[in-house]
Amino acid sequence: MHIANPIYDTIFKYMLEDNKVAKIFISAIIGEEILELDFNPQEYSTEVASAAKGSITVCRFDFSAKIKTEASFKTVIIELQKAKYSSDLMRFRRYLGLSYQNKENSYDTNQEKARQIYCIYFLDYGADLPARPVLKVDYKMEDVYTGDEFPATGEFVSGLHHRSWIVQIQQLKQRRRNDLEKLLGIFDQSNITDTNHILNVEEDSFPEEFQQIIRRLRKAAEDPGKRRSMDLEDDIVKELQGLERKIEEKDKAIEEKDKTLAENQKTLAEKDKTLAEKDKTLAEKEREIAELKRLYGIKL
């Protein structure tokens, strides 16, 4: 069965624009049941533009979610970002900072209590992380003296700390150890067909609860407009890669020049040192000659 490749931002965006699909998809990643999920329109953006205009490669989504708990429910902010290059790390930090500052990301308008923030990152590059498809980064609370751990709960902790899930797309190959990894098989690039736009997957390899996601991606694969959007994204990525190569070449040239300059400075310093030693030796000889002249009463 053919599905559109969600590694493309235009397809990833299309997939998550369906609210039911987005709820299923994000619930599977965070391991919690989402009761309600809403886009935050003022924060939602997919940023892919021409490199000539200062392009970036982050696809970003912000959601407000109502999540089922044992006692009742809680509301959280979910920030989801997908990136192609390691240089996007600083943008992750900036977006997260904006989420913490945004007064809309709170509840109880009288006291302005902060909602907890969940961060989900899709990385399509080799990061300096353990070679695993999905990693969860969670906070813990412990007594520094005894090492005793306590539940990391409460308004103070949840308001100032966030949980993160990191999906490493390049680590998804043949990893199908649980339902989540089966679902994330939609990103497995070893399934590409004669075009990067389309993946060939086995429909029965996905659990029933994820079939709605598969149908959404199959629909995208049959849409000529989505194909054209992927073509455009290919062109933009090539432009970005060319720009990155040029920057790397310039950085390398500068590094070589700096290295040569440092070597020249070192050589010059060694020459100055040698000259200073010669001057010192000459001065000592002149003093010795002067002393001999004084001892033997030699006058010029």
Count up the domains in the chain and report the number.
Answer: 2
For position 103, what pLDDT does the model report?
Answer: 64
For position 247, what pLDDT does the model report?
Answer: 76
Backbone angles phi, psi at 35, to 5 degrees: -85, -40
Structure token pair of residue 220: 């995208």
Considering the domain architecture, whether residues 42 and 101 belong to the same structural domain is answered as: yes
Of 167, 191, 222, the residue that ends a domain is 222
Considering the domain architecture, whether residues 240 and 205 belong to the same structural domain is answered as: no
Considering the domain architecture, whether residues 64 and 195 belong to the same structural domain is answered as: yes
Report the distance separating Cα 63 and Cα 58, nearest Å.
Answer: 16
14 burial (CB, 10 Å; 0-12 / 13-18 / 19+) is buried
β-pair partners for 269: none
Of 167, 194, 222, the residue that ends a domain is 222
Considering the domain architecture, whether residues 233 and 162 belong to the same structural domain is answered as: no
For position 288, what pLDDT does the model report?
Answer: 83
Considering the domain architecture, whether residues 50 and 26 belong to the same structural domain is answered as: yes
Containing domain of residue 289, as a range?
A: 224-300
For position 248, what pLDDT does the model report?
Answer: 74
Considering the domain architecture, whether residues 212 and 228 belong to the same structural domain is answered as: no
Best CA proximity match to 217, nearest among 23, 60, 10, 11: 11
Considering the domain architecture, whether residues 10 and 130 belong to the same structural domain is answered as: yes
For position 106, what pLDDT does the model report?
Answer: 58
Task: Note whether 217 and 13 are within 8 A (CB).
Answer: no
Query: Which residues of the chain fall short of a pLDDT of 70?
Result: 41-58, 85-91, 93, 95, 97-113, 244, 298-300
Considering the domain architecture, whether residues 30 and 152 belong to the same structural domain is answered as: yes
| Helices assigned H by DSSP within the chain | 9-17, 19-30, 89-101, 155-160, 179-183, 211-221, 224-296
Task: Tell me the whole-structure pTM to 2 decimals.
Answer: 0.71
Pairing relationship of beta strands 113-114 and 116-123 according to DSSP bridges: unpaired
According to DSSP, residue 238 is labeled: H
Contact residues for 18 (Cβ-Cβ < 8 A; gap 6+): 212, 216
Residue type, 138: D
Structure token pair of residue 204: 């029965």
For position 98, what pLDDT does the model report?
Answer: 66
